[in-house]
Amino acid sequence: MDRTAIFELINKNPGFFLATIDDMDKNLPRVRGMLLYKADESGIIFHTGAFKDVYKQILKNPNVQLCFFDPLQNIQVRIRGTLKIADSNDLKEEISEHPTRAFLKGWKSSVPLQEFYDSFIVFLMNDGIANVWTIETNLDAKTDIDLF
């Protein structure tokens, strides 16, 4: 699987799992489901709130792994890399107004706009290394695919 096919797979399957380390709790791993905004050659973009534990964990250790799954093809794509904050109000506006993000409208309308921008955190990964897993390749050596 090449980079183009990986980006196509993860955009078609935007629900993913994000693994972080919680250094407040004995460096234990934490995994939770997240929702991709978009992914292409410029980076993988998703978001959360500044009040969430995941945000605090990423601030302390931005090294994470994302895991996407395509149930129709039975393919798992794991991407490890470093997250950066994409602190652009234009990007935050684009995301919050996107039809797939209607769930953000209540939050955005309930606080002053700058308060929303300050607490709406957008993450960018543009140094990811992917591994592709299938049941057929389960015993094969892992192959790193540089995404960026």
pLDDT at 129: 98
How far apart CA 47 and CA 49 sit, in angstroms, is: 7
- Is this structure's pTM higher than 0.85? yes
pLDDT reading at 11 higher than 80: yes
| Domains delineated in the chain | 3-146 (2.30.110.10)
What integer best gives the mean pLDDT of the chain? 96
Distance CA 31, CA 104 (A): 22
**Residue 141 identity (one-letter amino acid):** A
For range 107-125, the mean pLDDT: 98
At 23 the pLDDT is: 79
Q: State the CB neighbour count (10 A cutoff) for residue 136.
A: 9
Q: Residue 128: name the closest of 94, 56, 76, 77 by CA.
A: 77
Q: Which residues contact 52 (CB under 8 A, 6 or more apart)?
A: none
Q: How confident is the model at residue 67 (pLDDT cuts 50, 70, 90)?
A: very high
91: pLDDT strictly greater than 80: yes
| Length of the chain as a residue count | 148
How do residues 21-58 score in pLDDT, each as one tens digit?
987 777 899 999 999 999 999 999 999 999 999 999 99
> How far is CA 22 from its chain centroid?
17
Q: Are 128 and 80 in contact (CB under 8 A)?
A: yes
**In this structure, are residues 31 and 18 in contact, taking their beta carbons and an 8 Å threshold?**
yes
Q: Phi and psi at residue 47, in whole multiples of 5°? A: -145, 165
pLDDT > 90: percent of the chain:
95
> What per-residue confidence (pLDDT) applies to 116?
98
